[in-house]
Amino acid sequence: MTEQKERELYFWMVLVREFEARVAALDKQGKLAGGVYSGRGQEAATVGVCHALRPDDWVFPLHRDMGAYLVKGADPNRLMAQIFGRRDGFSKGKDSYLHGGDLAHGIFGATSMLAATLPVAAGMAYKFRMKNEDRLAVAFFGEGASSRGDAHEAMNFAGVHKLPVIFVCENNFYAYSTPNELQFAVENVADRAAGYGFKGEVASGNDLHTVMNVMQKATDRARRGEGPTFIELKTYRYHGHSEHDRAAYRTEEELVTWESRDPIELWEHYMDKRKYDLPAIQAETLARARKVVEDAVAFAEASPEPTGPEAMDDLYATPVGEGR
């Protein structure tokens, strides 16, 4: 891997963290519409997964997957406008960040019923198979969402039909406040993959190299027609379930232990070992990321609020043959 590529990966992780830090601050100022769900500490998972994809592949991110939006090509300005609930956001101010997708860049919006998009991802992969398209669908979900029927149905269907879909479980050990041992009796969520008839992979979600390696194997397998992969990335969120959750259900020792495995710091250590000029790279990357975030906030604040009558727009698809 070239230095340029490694610096690009570093930029994406830093941008995600800076973007989310600013969003958390804006939420405390009462400027945002809807809830805020930080993925701080999980940056390597989304960046590593999405960096392996092509522009025509599709992703199905959830509420803690800011990196999937940014790496997949979503405009940071429009993404921030979506978070603000403004007209220039992806849903034109009609919905929160959680539900905002960017179809032009292959990003399908989530729903509040987590795991509900997994069957949609399987359906899209089925379409790719039917049309002989060399494309993939990637569905993100958490270990808590893995207990829902939607997840089972999607994976069972995908396994039967050997679909080009990759299921990525970001296991951060808490479904809101429920720990893993109260969620499932297996050691790893990906152990369930055997029951669906396809490969399960368990990897560190904080080590960017590991994420990229396991994702590359999964994409290669899917493009060869060998079916789905269940990837479980073990990671950790530093914040609570949402910005209003103090996360009193976990210990300070646990949090510090995981912060010592910080994905950005691990990548910095790697670049330092590669004899790069790390202080210069850090300064340049942080300045670049903060410029993107500042521009996005300015754009969002300048974007108009949606008006009442606009609530009736886009309720139905334009019938075929009309509007031409």
pLDDT at 287: 98
Query: Per residue in 165-206, pLDDT tens?
Result: 999 999 999 999 999 999 899 999 999 999 999 999 999 999
- Number of CB atoms found within 10 A of residue 185's CB: 8
As a whole number, mean pLDDT of residues 275-291 equals: 98
pLDDT value at 324 more than 60: no
pLDDT band of residue 33 (cuts 50, 70, 90) is confident
Task: Report the 3 state secondary structure along 123-171.
Answer: HHHHHHHHCCCCCCEEEEEECCHHHCHHHHHHHHHHHHHCCCEEEEEEE
Residue 72: per-residue pLDDT: 97
Q: Which residues contact 58 (CB under 8 A, 6 or more apart)?
A: 106, 107, 108, 121, 124, 135, 136, 137, 138
pLDDT band at 323 (very low <50, low <70, confident <90, very high): low
pLDDT tier for residue 110 given thresholds of 50, 70 and 90? confident
Say if residues 20 and 70 touch (Cβ distance below 8 Å). no
- Strand-pair partners of 239: none
What's the average model confidence in pLDDT over 223-232? 97
Structural domains in the chain?
3-300 (3.40.50.970)
Mean per-residue pLDDT of the chain: 94
Identify the pLDDT of residue 117: 96
CB 208 within 8 A of CB 44: yes
- Output the pLDDT for position 314: 84
Q: Specify the range with the lowest mean pLDDT, choosing from 71-80, 147-156, 270-279, 307-316.
A: 307-316
Residue 276 has pLDDT above 70, yes or no: yes
The pLDDT of 291-304, averaged and rounded, is 98
In sequence order, what are the residues at sequence separation of 6 or more whose Cβ sits closer than 8 angstroms to the Cβ of residue 186? 192
What's the pLDDT at 320? 79
